[in-house]
A and B are shown apart, each in its own frame.
Chain A
Amino acid sequence: MVTELFQYTIWIPVLVFLSFLIVGLSGDKLSNQAAGLISTSTISIGMVLSYYTAYEYFFVHGLVNGIYETFIPVNFEWLRFSETLSINMGMYIDGISVMMLVVVTTISTMVHIYSFGYMKGEVGFNRFYSFLSLFSFSMLGLVIATNIFQMYVFWELVGVSSFLLIGYYYFKPSAVAASKKAFIVTRFADFFFLVGILTLSYYTGTFDFIELTDPSGAAIGSFAGASFLGIGALTWALTLIFIGGAGKSAMFPLHIWLPDAMEGPTPVSALIHAATMVVAGVYLVARLFVMFVLGSPEALEIVMWVGAFSALFAALIAITQTDIKRVLAFSTMSQIGYMMLALGVSGYGGEEGLGFTASMFHLFTHAMFKALLFLGAGAIIHAVHSNEMTDMGNLRKYMPITHITFLVAALAISGIPVFSGFFSKDEILAAAYASNKMVFFIGWAVAGITAFYMFRLYYTIFWGEEREYTHTPHEAGKSMTYPLLFLAFMAAVSGFIPFNELVTADGLDFHAHFHWNIAIPSVAIAAIGIWVATIMYKNPSKTADEVSAKIPILYRWSHHKFYMDEVWMFLTHKIIFKLIAWPTAWFDKKVVDGSFDGIAWVTNKVSDKIKGLQSGQLQQYAATMVMGLLGFVLVLLYWMTK
């Protein structure tokens, strides 16, 4: 409903945008201190405002007659297409958008503070902060979108901010290549997204989320019977839109950009490629969830399988990676797969909608513990000047705070009780169990693998043998450890937030009971994972090498990420460059252009031949004229007698 309430929320994105303009346009005129302070203070104000919004929404104004309502405090026309269709810009305040406001501003603020220490002395410090502001603004615009086209607008903007931040070290060829890859892969996915939006709006005549996701089904009904190639038009539209989401959220097979994106500075990986932007796809599906669940269960099934497969696929790769950030990247992909899977198995209304709630719950807890893992990794990389796990070992005695916070995050992601991940993962598995046993089994197995690779990472970094460090590693400064402590606190306790009462598919709360039949086996498999990792990696031993030597093929495939990069490389370079672009350019030069040159050449030759006619001899002219006239008359006569 349109409302006077919550109008102050518009300041959250506006302030951050102002910070981008000020820091971005002033360039080097601003001191590093000032640039960092402006960015950090605006996003901090945004965080406070978001918390206030969350309080007001969930506990004061949100609940109207027992249902969490949607509020539209701001909405104005931005671009009109026709009498009926236009893109609006506005604020959409409901359970999931408020939750996302909290997530985005919290993680972004922590990253802003952390970067004071991490990026200190880097060339382009101001540029970094202006890009952070640009990203935060775009991400906020995305989550508060009132319509799908507004979301697309900001969707593209987060894409470009991600490009700019991955390519922050633009003089490094690997960073340039990674940023390009990230942009183009997601852009490719966005093409489907756009076609999906166009299809959706063609049938429903609107972009507006409120109208599209009206549970009484007017928008869904407008698709009545329309189909293409035997598949319903709504399924087409939603599947196309989901491809866009899968690109942004690094779902198989569009995930290839995510590991490379780790070329960006580590705080960026924490903010964009772990906690916020990569979950945009999940958020998109959640936003349109009513359409999926009531209009096209087929499309929702696709979401489920893509999510489940990606979760397993990425977890298997994470086992063998040695770059600490890449392990975390694949872990992110795997966890996002969890969220997708949860949406995919969800129903609508009451406890049927457990999957939806679980997905949002996991999005929240994952943002906290994954940002923590990345920021912890950043502290470690800062200390040992390497991303490789093989260069690390026994760091717990040098970096106690990082060690403890990292351990908290590892326990949370492994789903060990009382830590946040346990609760959200339990709900996901419970929802899956109720809907599809196969998917449940995949999710359960992934839980074990996750615990294993996380503790492999943990033990190799903090235990194991001491390495030769160029200089003794030491704990990072306060600006870096405080965010770690804050996030560790969140990762430990945020599981106790009653999501089932606050964020549900239909706005009604439901009573969630505890699923012992799920919790016991899932904790058991996590414990086994940790136990195996302890044996193999806690103390220096050859066990790991021996195991991998026994299954060389599996090891190699996992280590090479199932050769997906090679497949894509083949598709893009061999096909697009060698088989399409080069031949097209050649064809244009030689054939199309060549034929025009040919016409010119022929004209030239002909004129050369006939220039003799212009001889200046009067008799010849007269003869030609007479002949011509004769011919003309003959043609005329023929024409008239016909």
Chain B
Amino acid sequence: MDRLSLLIVIPVLTIVVIGFMHDYKKVRLTAAIGAGIQLLQTIWLMFSYLGERRSGNTEEMLFGKDVVWYDHGILNIHYAVGVDGLSTALLLLTGIIVFAGVFASWEITNKTKEFFITLFLLATGVFGFFISIDLFTLFVFYEVAVIPMYLLIGIWGTGPKEYSAMKLTLMLMGASALLLVGILGIYFNSAPDGGELTFNFIQISNVVMDHGAQRFFFPLTFIGFGVLGALYPFHTWSPDGHASAPTAVSMLHAGVLMKLGGYGALRIAVMLMPEAASEMAWIFIILAVIGSVYGAYSAVAQKDLKYINAYSSVSHLALILFAALMFTQTAHTGAVLQMISHGLITALFFALIGMIYSRTHTRNIHEMGGLLKVMPVLGVSYLIAGFASLGLPGFSAFIAEMTIFVGAFENHDLFTRVSTVLVVSSIVITAVYILRAAGIMLMGTINNKEFELLPDARWYDKVAVFLLIAVIAGIGIFPNWLVEIIYTDLGPMFERMSSQIF
């Protein structure tokens, strides 16, 4: 068994083992162990990746494996896996968030077994997605990741959960349909000079796809992935979905799943069809600019913590799509950094919101106040998450945002200049909604006597929260190793792409 496939096998095995458990305590312990092993695997993968690169291995995809899966008639589907710096970093992110997510769901007692099984199914899909280099396999894993959301929100959610689950699933399925057409379109144009068709996106990136086909399939693919990446105006599933989802699901969903959209939009839509992408970039740049500013303003007007964070995600994810369309290596590096950074920060936010909600039973900021005094650990962590989110130096978001802004500023036409400045302006509004929520909820006087007796973070809460904070600050203080991995590995892709458009 090759080591990348192990990343899928471990969650599947965990599911199987959980299937034999009956006691909820044993179930969550198994889940924690499974997630722990998975986290160690991703860390180990990162170290081996660094080792390979240091020893001078410049192969684009490392630890690769390629098996024919279905090769009859016109279809040529492989199970092809391999990782480079981008995917290794995102796999590590997934490992961290799944691990933290298990601890954030420690208190789930309703159908614990089924919950963790579905959660690990989702994780399997995400891991599979990031290791795939065959578009078809990638699409299959994408679907594996999206479908469990319906159950997770519909069963373990809160509020109007059926409505939210249905809406989320329908919109994402609609996007999948576009995406499938896009992927098939890419496949059928993958060998313009004759020869065998392929789903392997590394191979495809070496050919120049037919211009007409690019123009037709780029928007389908970009929107298909964009919906998952909260592209305006297809973002509306996200606030309702997050508000209804249970804690760990919000964490995984905003933290990792939505990154599938950004990753696909950058790596597949933009990189494989650069001509069409640069031609149509202006449309999506406008949408991304709207998304970032509009999401931020919408967040200012919210009262519910989850809605605030969901709209904040819309705003911050728009930066990823924006950066993907800036066509500079620095901006693309920033896009990947933003995926990682936003993944960690938003997971931290949702974890904390879940913990606060389980104590106060409200997410309305106006019904809370002075919580910092009652639960200092959670309160301070929330403040840290807030500062990280508003791009304070020393935390990961600063690194990502600055890389995006500097990269975007390398373009010199007035249109990108103006859109960049507008996007930058969204960070001011971020400060407004973050401090507004923190000020009302954490500071001031305690306005509800019952809250005075609420307990602070338990040990399992601390595991989730401190792990995420440590990684966010770690990247923020020592950013260069990560930036280098991503920047260097984007190099060959970027060169191929720019040879087609410049």
**A residues adjacent to B (C-beta < 8 A):** 77-82, 85, 87, 149, 152-154, 156-157, 160, 167, 170-173, 176-177, 180, 183-184, 187-188, 191, 194-195, 198-199, 201-202, 576-577, 580-582, 584-586, 588, 592-593, 596-597, 600
Cβ-defined contact, B439 with A180, below 8 A: yes
Cβ-defined contact, B301 with A582, below 8 A: yes
State the 3 A-B residue pairs at the shortest beta-carbon distance, nearest first: A585-B301, A581-B300, A593-B236
Chain B interface, DSSP helix/strand/loop, else mixed: helix
A588's contact among B236, B406, B442, B484, by CB below 8 Å, is which? Answer: B236
**Counting CB contacts under 8 A, is B432 at the interface?**
yes
Q: Shortest beta-carbon distance, A368 to chain B, in Å?
A: 30
Q: Shortest beta-carbon distance, B296 to chain A, in Å?
A: 9
Cβ-defined contact, B372 with A170, below 8 A: yes
**Counting CB contacts under 8 A, is B428 at the interface?**
yes
Q: Shortest beta-carbon distance, A185 to chain B, in Å?
A: 10
Q: Shortest beta-carbon distance, B406 to chain A, in Å?
A: 5
Q: Which among B56-64, B110-118, B340-348, B391-399 touches the partner chain?
A: B391-399
B480's contact among A77, A82, A183, A592, by CB below 8 Å, is which? Answer: A77
What CA separation (Å) do A398 and B474 show in the bound complex?
A: 53
What CA separation (Å) do A546 and B170 show in the bound complex?
A: 75
Could you pull out 16 A-B pairs where Cβ atoms are within 8 angstroms?
A78-B479, A82-B329, A167-B443, A170-B443, A172-B444, A173-B444, A183-B435, A188-B428, A191-B425, A195-B421, A198-B409, A576-B297, A581-B300, A585-B298, A592-B236, A596-B167
**Counting CB contacts under 8 A, is B424 at the interface?**
yes
Cβ-defined contact, B393 with A157, below 8 A: yes
Cβ-defined contact, A198 with B297, below 8 A: no
What CA separation (Å) do A244 and B428 show in the bound complex?
A: 13
Q: Shortest beta-carbon distance, A461 to chain B, in Å?
A: 32
**B residues adjacent to A (C-beta < 8 A):** 167, 170-171, 233, 236-237, 239-240, 294, 297-298, 300-302, 311, 328-330, 370, 372-373, 387, 390-394, 398-399, 402-403, 405-407, 409-410, 412, 420-421, 424-425, 427-428, 431-432, 435-436, 439, 442-445, 479-480, 483-484, 487
Candidate in B170, B300, B301, B390 with the most chain A CB atoms within 10 angstroms = B301
Cβ-defined contact, A581 with B393, below 8 A: no
Q: Which residues of A contact B330 (CB under 8 A)?
A: 81-82, 85
What CA separation (Å) do A602 and B398 show in the bound complex?
A: 44
Q: Shortest beta-carbon distance, B78 to chain A, in Å?
A: 35
What CA separation (Å) do A215 and B399 show in the bound complex?
A: 32
A180's contact among B328, B390, B399, B436, by CB below 8 Å, is which? Answer: B436
Q: Which residues of B contact A81 (CB under 8 A)?
A: 330, 402-403, 406-407
Q: Which residues of B contact A195 (CB under 8 A)?
A: 421, 424
What CA separation (Å) do A586 and B294 show in the bound complex?
A: 11
What CA separation (Å) do A176 and B369 show in the bound complex?
A: 12
Cβ-defined contact, A79 with B424, below 8 A: no
Cβ-defined contact, B409 with A584, below 8 A: no
What CA separation (Å) do A582 and B236 show in the bound complex?
A: 17
Using A170-B372, A171-B444 as known contacts, say yes or no to A160 and B171 having CB atoms under 8 A apart: no
What CA separation (Å) do A576 and B425 show in the bound complex?
A: 13
Cβ-defined contact, B373 with A600, below 8 A: no
Cβ-defined contact, A173 with B445, below 8 A: yes
Q: Shortest beta-carbon distance, A232 to chain B, in Å?
A: 16
Cβ-defined contact, B427 with A191, below 8 A: yes
Q: Shortest beta-carbon distance, A254 to chain B, in Å?
A: 13
B435's contact among A149, A184, A194, by CB below 8 Å, is which? Answer: A184
B170's contact among A82, A173, A600, by CB below 8 Å, is which? Answer: A600
Q: Shortest beta-carbon distance, A187 to chain B, in Å?
A: 5
What CA separation (Å) do A81 and B407 show in the bound complex?
A: 8
What CA separation (Å) do A580 and B435 show in the bound complex?
A: 18
Task: Specify the chain A residue showing the minimal Cβ separation from B487.
Answer: A80
Cβ-defined contact, A596 with B425, below 8 A: no
Cβ-defined contact, B409 with A184, below 8 A: no
Q: Which residues of B contact A576 (CB under 8 A)?
A: 297, 300, 432
What CA separation (Å) do A152 and B387 show in the bound complex?
A: 16
Cβ-defined contact, A202 with B410, below 8 A: yes
Q: Which residues of B contact A87 (CB under 8 A)?
A: 402
Task: Specify the chain B residue showing the minimal Cβ separation from A191.
Answer: B428
What CA separation (Å) do A81 and B400 show in the bound complex?
A: 10
A202's contact among B236, B409, B443, by CB below 8 Å, is which? Answer: B409
Q: Which residues of B contact A152 (CB under 8 A)?
A: 393
What CA separation (Å) do A79 and B432 show in the bound complex?
A: 27
Q: Which residues of A contact B236 (CB under 8 A)?
A: 588, 592-593, 596
What CA separation (Å) do A152 and B401 show in the bound complex?
A: 14
What CA separation (Å) do A581 and B307 show in the bound complex?
A: 14
Cβ-defined contact, A596 with B171, below 8 A: yes
What CA separation (Å) do A77 and B402 show in the bound complex?
A: 15
Q: Shortest beta-carbon distance, A125 to chain B, in Å?
A: 15
What CA separation (Å) do A160 and B236 show in the bound complex?
A: 33
Cβ-defined contact, A198 with B405, below 8 A: yes
Q: Which residues of B contact A177 (CB under 8 A)?
A: 439
Q: Can you name 6 extra interface pairs (CB under 8 A) apart from A191-B425, A195-B421, A585-B298?
A: A79-B402, A82-B410, A160-B392, A172-B444, A198-B409, A581-B300
B406's contact among A85, A160, A580, A582, by CB below 8 Å, is which? Answer: A85
Q: Shortest beta-carbon distance, B12 to chain A, in Å?
A: 34
